[in-house]
Chain A
């Protein structure tokens, strides 16, 4: 159905786009273009330490069975391979799918044992990547669950009428406002194996027999990261839930109290369903935030192969190993995971695009 629009309405629509133009332009430059360029780079062999023009390699950075990409020789126009079984130096030309003697340039007569010179390459075949996926998943599930439970407890506590509530509310905002780097350093200090206050406390309580190297040990490092994230982010969760609680009419609870409903029953059957929409929004925000975690893993753990998050893996490939193509491929995968979550959530119709209260 087309609606006839008045000249005034048309003029206002034009004005609207004019008002939006600067933001859309900035987002195009700082978001759309870099994202497209990351995806583009992920299909090339771009390296930070090489001035050569990047070469299109298809999905080789993700997964491919073939010659080692690092053996590419631009001058020879092929892959320079060493065949251990025949002790020969070979040149593999992809366009002809054939092997040549690298000195004479003559085609190799007879079969070359491809299994000797070809392997699986790409991050999807890299166990370190899958370890980082597992670390990120574990981190996300455990920390978001803990944040929901603790956030609910804190929100319900603060919802009670009591003197000095404003002050307490401000106090629990402190962990949220502290820069992640500072949180990581503070907790790194508290969790220090020799002189950390946490070990001191746990030893005093008799919960551990000896001092533990929480962050240096690959098995406990992820739990240290989770603990710090829970500490830092629970207040955010608690405040969102508190805001939702405060929007509920007092009469419901009044009625429940008069009827003598047990508080737990009241919570489970009345309060929780009422704040569920707010809870869902908070959880999805936190899930997406947790999946892209970088700072805490980078700062708190030893950054060994066993303690990477997906984002840390991507940056390590990109900046430390200078492999822009491979790192971009990992970054693209992080983006796809998160985009998948958003798409699923939007498809479920839970995402309200009207920021109304």
Chain B
């Protein structure tokens, strides 16, 4: 059968279809956030008109979000919790990864299994146990409750990712260090750590994003507005009545907490992808 269209035409049509598909993918992934930005710049009745561009862009919603609730405090809380969790996970994770990635000992494989298993724990299964533990420790409604509980999901994948990277470092380096009489601790801190910087960045970013976005524990273990993190604060923004949600404020708050993440993602996308694939794909 002779093709109805000549080869160049088909090729050109193929190109057009390809770019249409690409455009569809881009619109699908980016439009909701674009819409949030547009909404956050609209006020009054403009909010209820489906214009793709704000007629009279205004920052009033952003001002309102910070004035009507302790949103700056919420951001600070999120930053404190996420940074502390990230640093703790990296420190603990890199020591464990050194043992799991570079040393031979009995019980290594079972330990890896345990770490992997824990990373799949449903958070809900720990909720009542953690709740009791946190109240017993007197940490209820404090940021420490969140820092403690977030280790449960940041630590396993930090260990996992760092172990994956640690195994790829050349063996000779370590042997040279041992021959020179370095202790394991010196080998880790002086020889391995500098080489692990890219992996630490990848794992750290993932831990930071996971902690910044967490909702269930933050919702359950904090009670007052000044201890809440950003996700809970945004979820609980309410209007005068349940039917009159201040959508402009909600979208402004959403944009404020998402922009730093998007900047991080745009700058570090290679690292993040490397971390994600080291954590999951072992094809």
Contacts and interface: CB of A to CB of B under 8 A. Distances in A.
Interface of A: 8-9, 12-13, 15-17, 19-20, 22-24, 26-27, 29-31, 33-38, 41, 153-154, 157, 160, 162, 166, 168-187, 189-190, 192, 194-195, 197, 200, 231, 235-236, 239-240, 243-244, 247, 275, 277-278, 281-282, 285, 288, 291-292, 294-295, 298-299, 310-311, 314-315, 318-319, 324, 327-328, 331-332, 334-335, 338, 342, 346, 351-357
Nearest to A187: B32
Contact of B282 (A20, A172, A327, A354): A354
B109 A181 contact: no
B151 to A, nearest CB: 5
Interface in B102-120: 103-106, 108-109, 111-118, 120
17 contacts: A12-B103, A13-B106, A22-B92, A22-B96, A30-B152, A31-B118, A34-B128, A34-B129, A34-B133, A168-B25, A177-B258, A179-B213, A180-B213, A181-B235, A186-B254, A352-B282, A353-B112
Contact of B130 (A20, A34, A352): A34
Contacts of A342: 117, 120
B265 A173 contact: yes
B184 interface: yes
Contact of A38 (B22, B96, B129, B213): B129
B114 A294 contact: no
Nearest to A192: B247
Contact of A295 (B32, B117, B183, B215): B215
B264 interface: yes
Nearest to A181: B231
A180 B128 contact: no
Contacts of A186: 32-33, 35-36, 251, 254
Given A170-B266, A197-B50, A338-B120, A35 B126 contact: yes
B83 interface: no
B262 A177 contact: yes
A131 B187 CA distance: 55
- Interface of chain B, helix or strand or loop or mixed? helix
A177 B29 contact: no
Contacts, number: 303
A353 B109 contact: yes
Nearest to A336: B125
B96 A23 contact: yes
B139 interface: no
B279 to A, nearest CB: 8
B121 A335 contact: yes
Nearest to B39: A189
A200 B50 contact: yes
Given A12-B184, A179-B258, A23 B93 contact: yes
Given A30-B152, A240-B277, A36 B33 contact: no
Contact of B212 (A168, A170, A179): A179
B92 A23 contact: yes
Contact of A311 (B122, B130, B159, B251): B122
B216 A27 contact: no
Contacts of B30: 171, 174
Given A166-B269, A186-B254, A15 B103 contact: yes
